Amino acid sequence: MRCGKCCMLKYSSGNVIHFSNRMCEHFDLKNGRCSCYSTRLSDSCVKVDLELLENNIELLPDTCAYRLLYEGKDLPCYHPLITGDKNSPLKAGATVKSLPVYSKSEYEESYNTLLKRQREEYWDADKAIKEGHKWLKKYKIRSVLSFTCPKKLNSKKSPN
C-alpha cells in the first residue's frame, strides 16, 4: 500500500510498541518510498513474510494490508486493489505524509542550520541553550502511533 508506516523507527515500552516521528534513514519522505528498496535487506531492514507475520506482527501497523489479510480482516476502502488508484492511500491521508514525522535529511539539515546560526549570530550561552532546547523539543523522538502487542517483544529490526 506504500503507506510507509512500517518505515517509522520504533521503540517499545512494556508490551506497547511505539511508531515514532523519526523515519528510517533510507525512507524518502518526498516520494514516500524506500530509497534502497532492492538492497534494503542487506542493511537494517526486515523482510515482510509469513515468518514476520507469525512472530512479530506488532512491527506492522494495524492498518497494514499484509497484517489485515493475515488477521482475516478486509482491506481498507482506500487500498489500491479496491480503488484501482495507486495514489488512493495518499489521497485518503493514510500514509506517513499525513503524520508529524521527519526524515533523516530534515533532521540533519535543521541541526546544521542551528549550528550555522549559532556561529553567525554569535549567540551567548543563554541564547544557545534556549535555541538548543527549542530544537530538541521539535526533534525529540516521540510516539506517533502505538499498538499493544499480543505477546512479549523480541529484538527484531524494522521491516520493509
Which positions touch ligand SF4 (CB under 6 A)? 1-6, 48, 60-61, 64-66, 160
Distance CA 131, CA 88 (A): 40
Between 118 and 146, CB nearer to ligand SF4: 146
Distances (CA, A) of 40 to 34, 43, 68, 143, 145: 8, 5, 24, 24, 24
Between 114 and 160, CB nearer to ligand SF4: 160
CB contact set of 81 (below 8 Å; sequence gap of 6+) = 75
Between 57 and 114, CB nearer to ligand SF4: 57
Distance CA 78, CA 55 (A): 27
CB of 7 to ligand SF4, least distance (A): 7
CB of 85 to ligand SF4, least distance (A): 15
Between 4 and 21, CB nearer to ligand SF4: 4
Crossing angle between the packed helical segments 104-120 and 125-139, to the nearest 10 degrees: 170
CB of 124 to ligand SF4, least distance (A): 46
CB of 89 to ligand SF4, least distance (A): 8
Between 65 and 114, CB nearer to ligand SF4: 65
CB of 28 to ligand SF4, least distance (A): 13
Distance CA 64, CA 6 (A): 8
Reference 6, options 55, 59, 58; nearest CA is 59
